[in-house]
Amino acid sequence: MKKKPQRTGLGSLLKKSEANEQNTSTGLKLSEVKEVTLAMLRVNPLNSTLFQEESSQYFDTLTSDIRERGILVPIIAKEDGTLLAGHNRLRVAQILGLRSVPVQYVEDDLSSEQEQHFVIKDNLLRRHLKPEQRIELYKRLYPNFDDRVLQDVRGGDRKSKTYKNQSGNIQFDIGDTSMPLSAPIVASHTGQNVETVRKDLQKHRTALIENSSVIPPRKKGEKLLVSKNEVLNQAKKHVKALENTLQKADKKTRLAILKEIEALLVR
């Protein structure tokens, strides 16, 4: 029986390159790339639970690209064929009537939590998400997310278990709820751009402060962040105290106090 000729050419080389890159970026043990019929694969329920469907424009672009170049980035699946990454690529393959697609199987045993984390991190990298959507995914990844984001402003526990591996990526215990969440940590863990994460966290942190009475202490040379509610509460206390003072004062004193207040407001 003749052996099936090995695929050569640019497309094959690109697939091998992408496969090697995925082995490194996922941190999981993946099989070699295999050509698998579509019937052997099935969608992961997590995908529809966590993410909205992409726009028709997105699918049109992806369909044109796959029709022209094929699927260059292998789909990732569990041993039973359940997808972890590549739902949109599989859908396009079905639309185009492809007989098979390149697949890498995860050879590690994943817990349900690890599976969810993998799906979230892959989609954070591949999807064009809004900041609010990314924040919701961060909350699923990191326990006590809101408090840990604020801890980074307060200074947090700088002795938490952190270190850098040989590639320079920051490693930490994802379940350590005392670990402050800074942009470099989240970016390194999810593979995203640091500046993108920084903007996401800053926007969310500001919203948390504005909608709560939490006031992180000031660092050296840094402005104190105060919530709107706290400002209003303090103002009400001062107004009440001023009313009591004016009621006890004579007319001349009241006029003098009001002039002082007017002068302060004009500044």
What does the pLDDT read at residue 157?
43
Distance CA 101, CA 59 (A): 17
Q: Is residue 40 pLDDT above 90, yes or no?
A: yes
Distance CA 88, CA 83 (A): 11
Prediction pTM value: 0.57
Q: What percent of the chain has pLDDT over 70?
A: 72
In the structure, what pLDDT confidence band is assigned to residue 250 with cuts at 50, 70 and 90?
confident
Give the chain's mean pLDDT. Answer: 76
Q: Is residue 11 pLDDT above 60, yes or no?
A: no
Domain borders along the chain are: 10-126, 131-210, 228-266
Under DSSP, is residue 168 helix (H, G, I), strand (E, B) or coil? coil
| H or E, element range at 162 | strand 162-164
In the structure, what pLDDT confidence band is assigned to residue 173 with cuts at 50, 70 and 90?
low
Taking residues 151-160, report their average pLDDT. Answer: 52
What does the pLDDT read at residue 207?
86
Can you name the residues that pair with 100 across neighbouring β-strands? 37
Strands 34-37 and 100-105: antiparallel
Distance CA 266, CA 133 (A): 43
Helix axes 183-190, 194-210, angle to 10 degrees: 130
What does the pLDDT read at residue 4?
40
Helices (H), 5-55: 10-26, 45-50
Q: Is residue 41 pLDDT above 50, yes or no?
A: yes
Under DSSP, is residue 52 helix (H, G, I), strand (E, B) or coil? coil
Strand order in the sheet with 34-37: 34-37, 100-105, 75-77, 83-85
CATH code of the domain made up of 10-126: 3.90.1530.10
